[in-house]
Structure 1
Amino acid sequence: MLRPASAFTSALLALTLVTGCSEPSEAGRDQAGPSATSAAPSAGGGLKGQDKISDSWPREIPLPAKYEVQSASSPDGKYHFLNVFGVSEEHVQATLAQFPSNGFKQVSETKIGKGGNYKFANDKWDVGLIIGLSDENGNPTNEDTGRFFLGYNVGPVS
């Protein structure tokens, strides 16, 4: 039986592979909560707006700076799901580098082209992070656009 975190990661990866050429859905994009902070570079690129997440988001989990969170949820306060689209490669690398600085150990890494699946953990949180290619508007794609999406799947340490 898959844990909710594993099921979400699998579903997001499957969705990415299946919908690589789909049109964006403005209705499906939402924001919630106060602005987040990140030590990742804040140089241009990405979508309009600042990172916006719920108050329950674990602040020690790094997010790319200056990118709009397209969807975020925490159905029970224990598990958190968040997506950021249109991120530059520089900001992806800076975000990955922040995990150890914030007390996380990299548990696994599976490279898939320029993206991949990563797992980080600290004494409180397991973080599944899917990184894949996206276009400037945040649509998953198979083309190397220089932009990426980050799909976070966060749960308590098991």
Structure 2
Amino acid sequence: MLRPASAFTSVLLALTLVTGCSEPSEDGRGQAGASATSAAPSAGGGLDGQDKISDSWPREIPLPAKYEVKSASSPDGKYHALNVFAVSTEDVRATLDQFTSNGFKTVRETETGKGGLYEFANDKWNVSLIIGVSDANGNPTNEDTGLHFLGYNVGPVS
């Protein structure tokens, strides 16, 4: 079982490694769309970079719609790490609301003003979610850009 502190450290490390190697998109905003809905990826649509998401990704865990997945891993199909960048404030809120709609309970919620640390759980999954401010290329920043990164760390409930 991943401890919450270990989960957050793991996601932050993955985020640091990915943002150090990220390339700007053509439009400077990643793949951000105008949609304020949140949904798990599905065949034939959804997130750019969806091919990076493991087939074992739990479909009930919401991801913001139409954003670029910069990194995803699932070494054993039980544990998953995923980073999504350049997400609008509205889509972050919609994604957080979708957890409740999908039957997750909020275990912990620590908002930091421009982001926060969240933990959600249902009968199968424990999700640690780090949200922070990013620039249009997905790089973390202290500036209020209106864009965010979401770092997911998912494991089975024990």
- Short-chain TM bin: 0.7 to 0.9
Residue 58 (structure 1) aligns with: 58
Report what 2:142 is aligned to. Answer: 142
Aligned residues: 136
Specify the alignment match of 1:9 in structure 2. 8
Distance 1:3 1:93 in 2: 26
Distance 1:4 1:108 in 2: 13
8 Å CA contact retained: 2:7, 2:128: no
Please tell me whether the aligned partners of residues 5 and 154 of structure 1 are also in contact (alpha carbons under 8 angstroms).
no
Question: Structure 2 unaligned runs (5+)?
Answer: 24-35, 40-46
Post-superposition offset of 1:15? 7.7
Report if aligned partners of 1:5, 1:155 keep a CA contact under 8 Å in 2: no
Cα distance in 1 between the residues matched to 2:94 and 2:101? 11
Distance in 2 between residues matched to 1:106 and 1:156, nearest whole Å: 16
Aligned partner of residue 106 in structure 2, secondary structure: strand
**Offset of 1:51 from its aligned partner?**
5.0
Query: Identity of counterpart residues, as a percentage?
Result: 65
Aligned residue number for residue 21 of structure 2: 25
1:114: Cα distance to partner? 1.4
CA 5–56 in structure 1, closer or farther in 2 if over 3 Å, else same = farther
Which segments of 5 or more consecutive residues in structure 1 lack a partner in the other structure?
28-37, 42-48
Q: CA RMSD in A?
A: 2.6
State the match for 1:88 in structure 2. 88
TM-score w.r.t. length of structure 1? 0.76
Deviation at residue 12 of structure 1 after TM alignment: 3.5
> Are the structure 2 counterparts of residues 6 and 79 from structure 1 closer, same or farther at C-alpha, using a change threshold of 3 Å?
farther
